[in-house]
Chain A
Amino acid sequence: MRDILIIAQLTWREARRRKIMWTALGLGLALVGLFTLSVYLVVRDMRGYQDVSTILLDSGYNMLLMTGFYAISFLSVMLAVLTSVGTLAGEVSTHTIQSLAVKPFRRGVLVLGKWLGLSALLSCYIILLCAGITLGTWLITRHLPSNLVQGVLLICLQAVVMITLGIWGGARLSTVANGVVAFMLWGLAFIGGWMEQIGGAVGYEPLVYIGIASSLLVPSEALWKMAAAGMQPAVVNSLMLTPFSQASPPSTAMLVYTLIYIAVVVGLAVRTFARRDL
């Protein structure tokens, strides 16, 4: 465990030294600022309409905030793939890994350390961004979404799913090939998710099955759906009032499946990397 933590700390130090951390924090701050400004302008405009009901106003604020969460969810997937695909593959191709892989521990320590370090790093970043836009929106509208903590954690888990896939791929593939595979898998889940949404809305079951199958293959989109469903008012979900509405969100079983999925894929990454010639 101590060795895993040393490797995990190394990923944090790398992010700091390579200026990834400060750049990401600076740009994240810009994102939060821009989002808050946009909310302010929209809300100022909305308040001009006197006859709008409180429920509708609240739903409007919620939709604005959900747009922000959606952007963060999308960004977190991109960041998860970009940071994870090269973390093993890059060190294998430059031979940097050799001096680490001869140390007195299993090779899996390198995999688990990198997985833990990146997952923790990206989760902290997602939590900061989500806290930023939630706070900005709250200051202007006094609106707080329901199940906020659960929603943010699900967005973090979505990033962890992509990091896990990126690390597994990197245990075998080159950085570029791994990046292509990871993005395509995410794209598959993304399209599948929309197919399921459309299938559900028009009552066409085969589309729903396609969606479920894609969620089983890569559960990232399903996690976003769970997050979105939880953070929106029930009426918005059931009437499908926004693009983020979920008439039939994934169940808790999907969450359990995802946790098992992550454990299995991490196990596969450890196994694949242990068998590889370096």
Chain B
Amino acid sequence: MSQSAPAIETRDLRKVYGTQVAVDALTLAVEPGEAFGFLGPNGAGKTTSVKMLLGLVRPTSGEARLLGMPIGDHACRQRVGFLPEDFRFHEWLRGYEFLDLHARLYHVSESVRARRIPELLEMVDLADAAQQALGTYSKGMLQRIGLAQALVHDPALVFLDEPTSGLDPLGRRMVRDVIKRLSERGVTVFLNSHLLSEVELTCTRVAFVAHGRVRLVTDPRSVRGQVVQVDIRVGSLDDGLLAGLHQWSGQVVVDAQHQTLTLSLPDEQALPEIARWIVGRGVALYQIAPRHVSLEELFVQVVEGEE
């Protein structure tokens, strides 16, 4: 593996079940050490995408590499961790045994296991439940031990599929802290989620997915502070106006009934110029109002805009 290789690299990855397209031409590049959010509504193809990257599902077409190696390569799998969305494990195993089993399957030496497993149990706050059978664990406890399992071999890349779905607020904070610590150590985290707040708080980049396609890749922090939506109300709408506005924004949403337009801009600097341009065209301008958008609004816009 070369050091500069992206942690995840996919090209036109596609999965079709019968006539249903689950993932359509997924093209992504995630850099090493990134905390990358994969955000989309239920049924967007997020889990299928992750399963393809992990070799659980065979792609219909396309290519993918993890850590510079082909997916399914044993050396690659050795360095990848995974917390599945359906965190069901052998319920008759005790917590410690469960982690020990998975560590052995990752070929972790006995001495490292003896040191690492107690640390992980401590990290996910399950040290007291280490000798309890998983069958007695609550949903949250199972998800936490599943997270420990994903990290038991000290991976370079971790896939977390909806890692907080069964957790209370404290558990969610614990997962956020774990992701932060992983990022600090240079571990790449791929976070599959439909929870915007979770992604906003933990990820350095986020991809919006809908109907099996990536619609937008952006930095969630920049979205919060910088992306501006501008509502414009004019006397009359025409094609020339719409075409002209595209020079400032690729995204122009039109509400013809109310003679309004909404533009997405990176900042407010272009507003006076846009106002001058509209007026200069002889169009009556009634309103030009900027507002900062949240990640949620952007997400809704992107997803709905495609429907």
Contacts and interface: CB of A to CB of B under 8 A. Distances in A.
A50 to B, nearest CB: 58
Nearest to B159: A102
Give the interface size class of chain B.
20 to 34
A103 B101 contact: no
B48 to A, nearest CB: 9
Contacts of B74: 104-105
A277 B56 contact: yes
Contact of B88 (A94, A103, A105): A94
B77 interface: yes
A10 B51 contact: no
A278 B105 contact: no
Interface in A1-30: 3, 6, 10, 13-14, 17-18
A6 B104 contact: yes
Give the interface size class of chain A.
20 to 34
Nearest to A93: B88
A95 B90 CA distance: 10
Interface in A83-103: 94-96, 98-103
A101 B72 CA distance: 10
Given A94-B88, A104-B74, A105-B74, A277 B54 contact: no
A13 to B, nearest CB: 8
Interface stretch (B79-87, B121-129, B214-222, B224-232): B79-87
A6 B86 contact: no
Nearest to A109: B105
Contacts of A17: 92-93, 133
Nearest to A19: B92
A275 interface: yes
A246 B284 CA distance: 104
A99 B102 contact: yes
Nearest to A7: B105
Contacts of B107: 104
Contact of B86 (A3, A18, A98): A98
Given A10-B101, A98-B86, A277-B58, A103 B92 contact: no
Contacts of B149: 99
Nearest to A17: B92
B105 A6 contact: yes
Contacts of B58: 275, 277
